[in-house]
Structure 1
Amino acid sequence: MTKTALKLLLPALLLTTTAFAAGKAEVKVGTSIEKYEVQGTSDSFKVAPDTKLYAGTKITGVENDKITVVFLKNGAEASKVELKVPRSPYRTHAFKTIRAGDSGNWTVKILGPDGAEIGSTDFKVEVGT
C-alpha cells in the first residue's frame, strides 16, 4: 500500500472503531415489561395519573460499564437513572411515573458510558382522569 492510501484508510478505520466502541441502544416505550420485552408500545399514550411508562432498551457494544436513561419532557430533563450493563448484548429498562400535569412531548435518551447519546425515542403523553 502506498502512503496516500494509508492516509485515506486510517481515518475511516478510526471512525468505525470509535462508533462501535460507543455502543448502540434500541429503545421502546410501553406500559409494562414481560420477559425483558416492552409491552403496550406506542408513540402516544393516554394514561391516568400515577401510571408508569417503561423505557426498555437492548444495549450492544457496552460491557462491564454503565449507561444512563434520561426522560425529557418538552426538552427538559424530568428524570435520570444510571444502570449497570454487565455484558453485550444486554436488555434493561427504566420507568417514569406519569403525574397529573405531565402531558406533553417526551423523549427517552440512552447515554453511553462516555455520556454520548447511543439511542433515543420520542412519544407523547396525555394525562386524563
Structure 2
Amino acid sequence: MRIASLIPLVLPVALLAQAPAPKPKAEAAPAPEATSIRPHAEVKVGTAVEKMEVVGEATDFKVAAGTKLYAWTKVWNPGDSVTVVFSKGETSSKQELKVPHSPYRTNAYRTFRQGDGGSWTVKVLAADGTELGSAAFTVEIQ
C-alpha cells in the first residue's frame, strides 16, 4: 500500500518530466532589405507565344511570306513601359508595351513579308532609351 500512496505524488512529476520544453519565443525577423535589381530583360524570338512562354524559339527561321515572328521578353525593373524594336539595317518597327510590375513577361510581333529576309535584331528599350536586352536572328522568306 505504500506504493499506492506514492502514485499521486510521483505521477505529476513523471508527466512533467516527459512534457516537451516550452519553445523559446521567436525573435522578429529583420525586415528584408529592398533588393535593387538592375533593369534588364531576357529576350527570345520564336514562332508563337503560348501561356506566356515562347514557342518555336530559334535564331534562324525559314518562313513563308506573311508569317509573324514573336519577340518574347521578361523584364525586371524597366519602369512603366518598354519599347520593342525590330531592326534590319535602315528598316525598323517599334511597339511600346506597358509593364505593370516586375518581373513581367510580355511580347511583340512583326509580320515578315517578301523582301524581309536577312539578319535582324530585336531590342528591348527602357522608357529612357536604355537597352535592357536584345536577340539576333535571321529570316529566310520561302
Q: Say if 2:52 is the partner of 1:36.
A: yes
How far apart in 2 are the matches of 1:26 and 1:58? 5
Q: Normalising by the residue count of structure 2, what TM-score does the alignment of the two structures yield?
A: 0.72
Pick one of 42, 57, 76 that aligns with 1:26. Answer: 42
Larger radius of gyration: 2
Give the number of equivalent residue pairs.
107
Question: What letter is aligned with 2:87?
Answer: L
Match of 1:11 in 2: none
| CA distance in 2 between partners of 1:40 and 1:76 (Å) | 27
Cα separation, 2, equivalents of 1:76 and 1:109 = 15
Q: Verify the 8 A CA contact 1:66 1:85 in the aligned structure 2.
A: yes
Q: Share of identical aligned residues, percent? A: 57
Deviation string for 1:71-110 (max 9, x for gaps)?
A: 001x334210100000000000000000000000000000
- Is 2:77 aligned against 1:61? yes
Q: CA deviation at 1:113?
A: 1.7
Bigger proportion of residues as strand? 1
Unaligned runs of 5+ in 1: 1-16
Match of 1:118 among 129, 132, 140: 132
Output aligned runs, 1:1-129, within 5 Å: 20=38, 23-63=39-79, 65-73=80-88, 75-128=89-142
Gaps of 5+ in 2: 1-35
Q: TM-score, normalised by structure 1?
A: 0.79
Q: Which has the higher contact order (CA 8 A, sep 6+)?
A: 1
